[in-house]
Amino acid sequence: MAPLGFYGSLATAGGVFLGLLSAYLTSRIAGMQSERDSIRRRVEAVDARRRSLREQRELIRDEIEGIEEKWAREERESKAKRDIKEFIDDHAGEDWSPAPKDVEFTDVLDEVASFVNVPRDALPAEHIDEASERFGDILYVLEKAQIPYARPDPLALMGDIATATNADSSNRWAVQERERYDAQRSRLVEVSTEMSALQRERESLSDRFENTDPEQLRSNLKDVGLAAIASVIFPLVVAGMHVSGLVVPGIPFATTIEPLVVFAIWVVGLGVVFAHMNSELTDNDDSLPDESAAVENDSETDDPPAEAEAVEATESEAAD
């Protein structure tokens, strides 16, 4: 008589282990989905913070560029004042002394361009404006040059008086502006550093999101189905065939070889179950990341290179 109790025991044992694996896979899928939801919420928060920081960075950059443009304009204006002052003090009335009544403003511009050694068409607008403001001083110096042994009265040169009057107030404003500029540069580095850190965090979250995709367990579910057929369904089918009379009892195959075949197939199916349980448990790396790698990454990304280099260049220019 066929060992129906043996077949039932095989099916029961296989069902127990198969149930354990199914419960484990179900728990893994639920855990993956929960982790993906958590990652998705964190990514949304990171993206919102990055958008806010990007807007702050643009505002800071606009203010910094505005200050730099103002400084560049002031430097051009300062150079124009120096050049026109030197033109009046050292050139007009000495190397260049036409009759004042014959001098037009265009003549002054031609001579100023020659004095600063640039083509007339390339004369900066700041030089033209300064020459226009001090055109009266230039004519005064030329008039005095027509009188023998006469020297221009420095107090009569209104441009020099105005320049000296505004020097102190300009210096005070320059100090405050430099402090504001340095503060904005530091803030720009802080914002850029935080944005870089958030970018790295988002990349890490993206990798985690991909690694927790429940679709990765589809192949496991297929193998679980095959294991269920081999370790549970097959012994039950053989036992059912004996009960229903589809297998003739009493022949040597049914009493000797058949149980061995059923047991071998059951072992294969159960082996698949154990193999998957072992792979699922050993694939989970619960160890902490290597500290040396973390330190190396931190040292490479503490400061945004572009912003840090820009700050260093600006500070060196200020020191010069």
- What mean pLDDT do residues 6-35 have? 78
Residue 223 has pLDDT above 80, yes or no: no
**Partners of residue 92 on adjacent β-strands:** 96
The whole-chain average pLDDT of the chain stands at: 76
Report CA Rg, the chain.
45
Where residue 152 falls among pLDDT bands split at 50, 70, 90? low
Confidence (pTM): 0.58
Q: What tokens does 254 get? A: 């049914």
Helix (H, G, I), strand (E, B) or coil at 96: strand
Share of the chain above pLDDT 90, in %: 32
Residue 67 confidence (pLDDT): 92
Nearest CA to 93 out of 148, 29, 24 is that of: 148
Q: What tokens does 85 get? A: 């002052």
The angle at the Cα of 297, spanning 294 to 300, to the nearest 5 degrees, equals 150
Where residue 213 falls among pLDDT bands split at 50, 70, 90? confident
Residue 303 confidence (pLDDT): 44
Residue 157 has pLDDT above 60, yes or no: no
Comparing 73 with 256, the larger pLDDT belongs to 73
What HEC string does 157-201 produce? Answer: CHHHHHHHHHHHHHHHHHHHHHHHHHHHHHHHHHHHHHHHHHHHH
Residue 210 confidence (pLDDT): 87
Comparing 280 with 21, the larger pLDDT belongs to 21
Q: Which of the residue ranges 107-111, 140-144, 206-210, 236-240 would you say has the lowest mean pLDDT?
A: 236-240
Residue 128 confidence (pLDDT): 93
Q: Which amino acid is at 255?
A: T
Residue 39 confidence (pLDDT): 92
Q: Is 208 exposed, middle or buried (0-12, 13-18, 19+ CB in 10 A)?
A: middle
- What mean pLDDT do residues 106-131 have? 92
Residue 190 has pLDDT above 50, yes or no: yes
Residue 155 confidence (pLDDT): 46
Q: pLDDT digit string (tens) for 36-70?
A: 999 999 999 999 999 999 999 999 999 999 999 99
Residue 299 confidence (pLDDT): 39
Sequence-distant (6+) residues with CB within 8 A of 228 are 14, 18, 269
Residue 105 has pLDDT above 70, yes or no: yes
Residue 265 has pLDDT above 80, yes or no: no
Q: In angstroms, rounded to a whole number, what is the distance separating the alpha carbons of residues 237 and 232?
A: 9
Comparing 144 with 107, the larger pLDDT belongs to 107
Nearest CA to 310 out of 82, 65, 78, 137 is that of: 65
**Partners of residue 96 on adjacent β-strands:** 92
- What mean pLDDT do residues 19-31 have? 79
Helix (H, G, I), strand (E, B) or coil at 151: coil
Residue 298 confidence (pLDDT): 43
Structural domain boundaries in the chain: 4-319
Residue 302 confidence (pLDDT): 40
Please give the DSSP secondary-structure letter assigned to residue 155.
Answer: G
DSSP letters along 201-230, please? HHHHHHHHHHHT-GGGGHHHHHHHHHHHII
